[in-house]
Amino acid sequence: MKKIALITSGGDSPGMNACIRSIVKTCLFYNIIPFGIYDGFQGMIDKRGVELGYSDVDNIIYRGGTILGTARCEEFRTAEGRQKAINFLKEESVDGLVVIGGDGSFTGAYTLGKEMSIPIIGIPGTIDNDIFGTDHTIGFDTALNTVVDAIDKIRDTASSHHRAFFIEVMGRDAGFIALNAAIASGAESVLIPEELTNIDKLVEEIKTQNKGRRSSIIIVAEGDDGGGAKEILEKVKPFLPNYDLRFSVLGHIQRGGSPSALDRIIATRMGSYSVELLIEGKSNCMIGVYGETLSTCSIESGIKEHAVPEQSKIDILKKLRTQ
Ligand code: ATP
């Protein structure tokens, strides 16, 4: 292992920089050249990469986003696009590749792995936490804290004005952010893609919540089957004519910001481990973390199995609901 390439791909997430830093420093520790490729798979196709040194990763551990940039690359979905990427890796004499990204990036990595002999390690980097094979993805903890902070602020104004607020959070396919934010913020209701939304039931819940209370917070995952926060509000409105209903879409603030200590630690550990796995001759596996322990499973199982939130977290919200 003389040269390891790394990319950040898909949606950016806080902690990606901590992971880049850790990969670069671990490579240098083992006298391996770290080769950063810009803008994910797009940079592989466009042949844009640079050898990285200590000074490139100075003071980036606390910064959100990714210094390598990221992209969603349609061309990489084609065999021709991937061949260009493979040619670039060969031209640069790359011996191993680390892909930091979400399940889409892992699907790209898995497909690429079947078409070339260069070993690949996947590191789960997405705010959504929707990857099988790990308790935490890099960025989830920071995004969750950003969401809870925003909900607390909305709660202040909601209670002052006696309002019910529908707050939309990220989560196209999974309700990890919504569910965990609901527990942490004491939200009255939560709508997640894992459960069918029943508007009649929601209306009854809001009426019950309203008894003796000054506010209701209903968290809506963007991928909920009933629609986003605005759509849900429109659906319940005719049944709640005397209620002051508002919605708020938290949007991209959920992606940004300085990573939490937990995300920095997970990112640093996973980044260093990825280099060691490549040195050991491992390939086509992704890194996960369970409790305090790092683990690996095949990238294939990471993308083929579906990550779902803990049922006990769904159950606890039902028990704490106002009756
Ligand atoms: P996030 O969950 O944060 O959005 P992600 O990694 O899932 O991150 P995607 O946009 O789904 O983000 O995927 C990133 C990139 O991975 C895509 O733009 C594409 O280049 C590549 N990719 C995704 N699916 C495939 C596929 N089936 N074949 C080849 N490449 C793919």
The domain that holds 190 is classified in CATH as 3.40.50.460
CB 22 within 8 A of CB 266: no
- 18 with 131, same domain? yes
Q: What distance in angstroms lies between residue 46's CA and the mean position of ligand 1's atoms?
A: 17
**Residue 323 — very low, low, confident or very high, per pLDDT cuts 50/70/90?**
low
- Nearest-atom number in ligand 1 for the CA of 103 is 7
CB 191 within 8 A of CB 199: no
With 70 as the cut, is the pLDDT of residue 195 above it?
A: yes
pLDDT at 305: 87
Overall average pLDDT of the 20-26 stretch: 98
pLDDT at 162: 86
Q: Is 323 domain-assigned? A: no
- 25 with 128, same domain? yes
Q: Is 314 domain-assigned? A: no
Give 102-130 as a DSSP string. -HHHHHHHHHHHHH-SS-EEEEEB-TT--
**Residue 210 — very low, low, confident or very high, per pLDDT cuts 50/70/90?**
low
Ligand 1 proximity of 39 Cβ (cutoff 6 Å): no
Ligand 1 proximity of 110 Cβ (cutoff 6 Å): no
- 197 with 287, same domain? no
- 10 with 129, same domain? yes
Overall average pLDDT of the 278-297 stretch: 96
pLDDT at 212: 65
Q: Is 282 domain-assigned? A: yes
Residues marked active site are found at: 128
CA quadruple 318, 320, 321, 323: dihedral, nearest 10 = 110
- 189-193, 280-284, 312-316: least confident range: 312-316
Which pLDDT tens digit goes with each residue over 159-176?
A: 888 889 999 999 998 999
Q: Is 207 domain-assigned? A: yes
Which pLDDT tens digit goes with each residue over 89-125?
A: 999 999 999 999 999 999 999 999 999 999 999 999 9
The domain that holds 266 is classified in CATH as 3.40.50.450
Pairing of strands 285-290, 293-298: antiparallel
Q: Is 316 domain-assigned? A: no
Q: Is 320 domain-assigned? A: no
- 281 with 227, same domain? no
CB 168 within 8 A of CB 222: yes
- Nearest-atom number in ligand 1 for the CA of 42 is 20
Q: What distance in angstroms lies between residue 108's CA and the mean position of ligand 1's atoms?
A: 6
Q: Report the domain count for the chain.
A: 2
State the Cα–Cα distance between residues 167 and 150, nearest whole angstrom. 10
State the Cα–Cα distance between residues 290 and 113, nearest whole angstrom. 25
Ligand 1 proximity of 284 Cβ (cutoff 6 Å): no
Q: Which of 237, 255, 273 is the last residue of a domain?
A: 255
- 27 with 45, same domain? yes
- 230 with 158, same domain? yes
Element (H, E) at 35: strand 33-37
Q: Is 189 domain-assigned? A: yes
Q: What distance in angstroms lies between residue 107's CA and the mean position of ligand 1's atoms?
A: 7
Give the helix ranges, DSSP H, for 191-307. 199-210, 229-236, 261-279, 299-304
- Nearest-atom number in ligand 1 for the CA of 41 is 20
**What integer best gives the mean pLDDT of the chain?**
95
pLDDT at 214: 75
Range of the domain at 196: 142-255
Give 84-106 as a DSSP string. HHHHHHHHTT--EEEEEE-HHHH
- 178 with 195, same domain? yes
- Nearest-atom number in ligand 1 for the CA of 130 is 2
- 73 with 192, same domain? no
Ligand 1 proximity of 124 Cβ (cutoff 6 Å): no
CA-to-CA separations, 219 to 11, 73, 77, in angstroms, rounded: 22, 31, 34
Nearest alpha-carbon partner for 13 in 167, 106, 181, 144:
144
- 50 with 81, same domain? yes
State the Cα–Cα distance between residues 70 and 117, nearest whole angstrom. 24
Q: Which of 222, 255, 288 is the last residue of a domain?
A: 255
Ligand 1 proximity of 9 Cβ (cutoff 6 Å): yes
State the Cα–Cα distance between residues 281 and 254, nearest whole angstrom. 37
- 281 with 212, same domain? no
Nearest CA to ligand 1 atom 20: 73
- 130 with 160, same domain? no
Overall average pLDDT of the 281-309 stretch: 94
Nearest CA to ligand 1 atom 4: 11
Q: Is 200 domain-assigned? A: yes
**Residue 257 — very low, low, confident or very high, per pLDDT cuts 50/70/90?**
very high
Q: What distance in angstroms lies between residue 303's CA and the mean position of ligand 1's atoms?
A: 11
Nearest CA to ligand 1 atom 23: 104
Ligand 1 proximity of 223 Cβ (cutoff 6 Å): no
With 90 as the cut, is the pLDDT of residue 81 above it?
A: yes
Nearest CA to ligand 1 atom 19: 73
